[in-house]
Structure 1
Amino acid sequence: MIHFVLLVSRQGKVRLAKWYSPYTLNERSKVIRELSGIILNRGPKLCNFVEWRGFRAVYRRYAGLYFCMCVDEKDNELEVLDIIHHYVEILDRYFGSVCELDLIFNFHKAYYILDEILIAGELQESSKRSVIRLVCTHDSLVETAKEQASSLSSVIAQVTK
């Protein structure tokens, strides 16, 4: 089971944090501080697995971001690396070569995509096409709702004149 997912920039700023196990706010900030410190200080040629507090942190660096997932010690690290890569590939397809700014300004999309892939810390959807199709369908529904809301507000404005 995945306990949490963190996306951390090279400067140590958290760009995304999704928690699947209960942690208080103080514990979360301590976890982020500890784990990001460990991961950011590791050399690029070292292994992408870190033993930490009886768990195993699996991370991978893509451009300026570290994608990190914390799992139980008995879980398969290579599967977790594959889930990280799967998430990055979907982000790349959706944003067209995703960068840190895409995640900063469209964080809600990054969370939505992650929610389509993982549920309660377990892999839900392994098909990239299905996830992209669902996200695009969601986007079109949001656009339709915005158009209807703007047309409705213009009708209300005309009536109240």
Structure 2
Amino acid sequence: MIKFVLIVNKQGQTRLSRYYEQQDIQKRTLLESEVIKLCLSRSKDQCSFIEYKDFKLVYRQYAALFIVVGIDEFANEMAVFELIHNFVEVLDKYFSRVSELDVSFCKYNVHSYLTDVMK
């Protein structure tokens, strides 16, 4: 089961977040900062799956954007890895080469596509 989706730039700024479990703002902020540090500090040669606390992180980098998905320990990492790729393909079709600016200025559209893809 997917717990959250983050879209982050290379500087570590969250451009979009979607949570599928209720959490208060302080926990979200702490979680995002730790997750972003973990993913940004890894090299391209390292695996895109990270075990973190009681769940797993699956992430992919596309140009200046990192897409990070938090899943429970029983979910299939490869399926989520492919789901991220499909989500980016949908955004590429809509924006014709999605960029950080597209995500920042068209959050409503990205949220609606995220909802459709993650069903």
TM bucket by the smaller chain?
Answer: over 0.9
What code does the residue aligned with 1:43 have?
S
Pair 1:65-2:69 in alignment: no
Q: Secondary structure at the match of 1:3?
A: strand
Alignment of 1:13-28 (within 5 A): 13-28=13-28
What code does the residue aligned with 2:19 have?
W
State how far apart, in whole Å, the 1-side matches of 2:100 and 2:23 are. 26
Q: Which is bigger in relative contact order (C-alpha 8 A, separation at least 6)?
A: 2
State how far apart, in whole Å, the 2-side matches of 1:27 and 1:33 are. 10
Alignment of 1:6-155 (within 5 A): 6-118=6-118, 124=119
Q: Secondary structure at the match of 1:6?
A: strand
Q: 1:101 Cα deviation (Å)? A: 0.7
Q: Secondary structure at the match of 2:87?
A: helix
What code does the residue aligned with 1:59 have?
Y
| Runs of at least 5 residues in structure 1 that lack an aligned partner in the other structure | 119-123, 125-161
Q: Secondary structure at the match of 2:15?
A: strand
What code does the residue aligned with 1:6 have?
L
TM-score, reference length from structure 1: 0.73
Output one character per residue of 1:19-56: Cα deviation in whole Å (capped at 9) or x when no partner.
Answer: 00111100000000000011111111000000001100
Q: 1:15 Cα deviation (Å)? A: 0.6
> Which has the greater radius of gyration?
1
The residue aligned with 1:143 is: none
Q: 1:83 Cα deviation (Å)? A: 0.6
Identity of aligned residues (%): 37
Determine which structure has the larger helix proportion and give its number.
1
Determine which structure has the larger strand proportion and give its number.
2
Output one character per residue of 1:68-120: Cα deviation in whole Å (capped at 9) or x when no partner.
Answer: 100011111000001100100000000111111111111111001111122xx
| Runs of at least 5 residues in structure 2 that lack an aligned partner in the other structure | none
| RMSD after superposition | 0.7
What code does the residue aligned with 1:49 have?
F
State how far apart, in whole Å, the 1-side matches of 2:105 and 2:17 are. 15
